[in-house]
Chain A
Amino acid sequence: MSEADIPELNFPDGLMGFPDAKRFTLLAWGGEGSPFSLLHSLEDETLEFVVVPPLLFFPDYEPEIDDESAARLELTTTDDAITLVIVTVPDDPKGATANLLGPVIVNRHTLKAGQVVLSLPDDFIRRPLLAS
């Protein structure tokens, strides 16, 4: 099993705006060479998000998780965490943006996950995937 494909992730607090979406599956998406995965709700068939490991597009990104969030996700070291960012895909995908302010953090051992709000400038919420 790779990090792009995880059968079941548990979000005890849901996602912001989707508090009841607590169980997701992560599916690799886009075929060979694609960096993207789909975070697909196991409770609401119509709900899915495109996610991507941020370092592939933002090599300098180093999310610092606050102690409370780390404790909630039972993370003890940074190696415990898989970080994914949610991608907004408009009809013209060149305008795709990633939310670096509120990444999805997964505990790779327990597969407990949550959206963590980082202490970063507000514009990190919408960072273009492709340099303009």
Chain B
Amino acid sequence: MLVLTRRANQSIMIGSDVVITVLEVHGEQVRIGIKAPRSITVHREELYYAIQQANKAAASPTPAALEGLGAIRPLVPKSPPPSPDNSPS
């Protein structure tokens, strides 16, 4: 891993369009600003892995699980939702 030392308000560039700036250092916490193109998604690592894991746990439930799910009904009755606008342009 590349290790760099930075102070508050100093930045690191990754490639030519990602800029990571140390905004504030406060005890054990560091506030970081990230400027990146919209095509690059930015996540806190632990959240990213937690959601990845949640998705894997949710993927392709077993037929037995699905069968039982059929009995679950919401608290509020389902009202007819508006249709999405999917007219061909």
Contacts and interface: CB of A to CB of B under 8 A. Distances in A.
B69 A50 contact: yes
Nearest to B43: A117
Interface residues of A, number: 56
A18 B59 contact: yes
A3 B82 contact: yes
Given A1-B84, A13-B41, A57-B74, A99 B58 contact: yes
Given A13-B41, A101-B51, A1 B72 contact: no
A117 B62 CA distance: 26
Given A2-B80, A89-B65, A109-B85, A129 B52 contact: no
| 3 pairs of A and B residues whose beta carbons are closest in the complex | A93-B68, A56-B74, A17-B52
B15 interface: no
B7 to A, nearest CB: 27
24 contacts: A1-B86, A3-B82, A6-B84, A6-B86, A15-B55, A16-B51, A17-B53, A31-B70, A34-B70, A35-B74, A46-B60, A49-B59, A52-B74, A56-B76, A59-B76, A82-B84, A86-B55, A89-B66, A99-B55, A101-B54, A108-B86, A109-B84, A126-B54, A129-B72
Most buried by B among A18, A55, A89, A106: A89
B72 A93 contact: yes
A127 to B, nearest CB: 11
A59 B79 CA distance: 13
Interface in B17-66: 38-39, 41-43, 47-48, 50-62, 64-66
